[in-house]
Amino acid sequence: MTKTFSFAVLHFSVAFLVGWALTGSWLVGGALALVEPACNTVVFHFHEKIWKRIERRRGERAATALTA
């Protein structure tokens, strides 16, 4: 859990710093620090679902090839 928390802090910090550096606004940097990681979390969920499906299909093909 500590590693996950430290990664979250790093992610929020990078999002904030990039937003602030590009706009010069603390408010925009703060908004990006909240919105961007939240969006990435949702996208990551679907990314994982797709990869699990791909891996399952590869496993099924490999099992079929072994039995044929």
Residue 26 CA, chain-centre distance (Å), reads 24
- pLDDT at residue 13, as a whole number: 92
Q: Which residue has the tokens 């499906």?
A: 53
- pLDDT at residue 37, as a whole number: 84
Strand, helix or coil for residue 24:
coil
- pLDDT at residue 22, as a whole number: 95
Number of domains in the chain: 1
- pLDDT at residue 41, as a whole number: 84
Q: How far apart are CA 63 and CA 39, in angstroms?
A: 36
Q: Give the pTM.
A: 0.61
41 is in which domain, residue-wise? 2-67
Token pair for residue 68? 């044929």
